Amino acid sequence: MSLRKYQICTNCIMDTSDSKISFDSGGRCEYCNNYHSNIVPNWHPDERGLREISAVVDKIKQDGKGRDHDCIIGISGGVDSSYVTYLAKAKFGLRPLLFHVDAGWNSQQAVNNIEKLVDGLELDLHTEVVDWQEMKDLQLAFFKAQVPHIDTPQDHAFFAALYKFAAKHGFKYVLTGANYSTECVREPLEWHYHAGDRRQLLDIHRKFGQRPLKTFPLTDIFTYKLYYQYFKGMKVVKPLNYIPFHKEEAMQELVDKYGWQKYAHKHYESRFTRFYEGYWLPKKFGYDKRRAHFSSLILTGQMSREEALNRIAQTAYNPDDLAQDFEYIATKLDLTVPELQQIMDGPNKSYKDYANAMTFIDMGTKILRALGIQRAIIR
Give 59 or 305: the residue with its C-beta nearer to Zn ion. 305
Taking CA atoms, 233 is separated from 42, 67, 133, in Å, by: 24, 17, 34
303 binds Zn ion (CB under 5 A): no
Q: Are residues 175 and 72 in contact, defined by beta-carbon separation less than 8 angstroms?
A: yes
Among 29, 221, 234, 243, binds Zn ion (CB under 5 A): 29
Q: What angle do CA 185, 302, 192 make, to 5 degrees?
A: 25
Give 36 or 366: the residue with its C-beta nearer to Zn ion. 36
Distance CA 130, CA 213 (A): 11
Order of strands, sheet of 235-237, starting from the edge strand that comes earlier in the sequence? 124-129, 96-102, 71-74, 173-175, 235-237
Beta bridge partners of 125: 98
Helices within the chain (DSSP H only): 30-34, 47-63, 79-86, 108-121, 132-145, 152-168, 180-183, 198-208, 221-222, 247-258, 271-275, 289-299, 305-313, 319-332, 337-344, 358-370
162 binds Zn ion (CB under 5 A): no
Stretch of residues binding Zn ion (CB under 5 A), selected from 2-10, 43-51, 112-120, 168-176: 2-10
Distance CA 255, CA 262 (A): 8
12 binds Zn ion (CB under 5 A): yes
300 binds Zn ion (CB under 5 A): no
329 binds Zn ion (CB under 5 A): no
Among 9, 161, 166, 195, binds Zn ion (CB under 5 A): 9
Give 184 or 195: the residue with its C-beta nearer to Zn ion. 184
> How near is the Cβ of 32 to Zn ion at its closest, in Å?
3
184 binds Zn ion (CB under 5 A): no
Give 19 or 229: the residue with its C-beta nearer to Zn ion. 19
Give 123 or 308: the residue with its C-beta nearer to Zn ion. 308
- Residue 315, by phi and psi: left (phi above 0), alpha (psi -120 to 50) or beta? beta
Stretch of residues binding Zn ion (CB under 5 A), selected from 30-38, 125-133, 276-284, 305-313: 30-38
8 binds Zn ion (CB under 5 A): no
> How near is the Cβ of 142 to Zn ion at its closest, in Å?
30
Give 29 or 162: the residue with its C-beta nearer to Zn ion. 29
Stretch of residues binding Zn ion (CB under 5 A), selected from 26-34, 128-136, 315-323, 367-375: 26-34
296 binds Zn ion (CB under 5 A): no
Distance CA 226, CA 346 (A): 38
377 binds Zn ion (CB under 5 A): no
34 binds Zn ion (CB under 5 A): no
- Alpha-carbon dihedral 134, 140, 142, 148, rounded to 10 degrees: 130
278, 293, 316: which is closest to 185 by C-alpha? Answer: 293
Site for Zn ion, rule CB under 5 A: 9, 11-12, 14, 29, 31-32
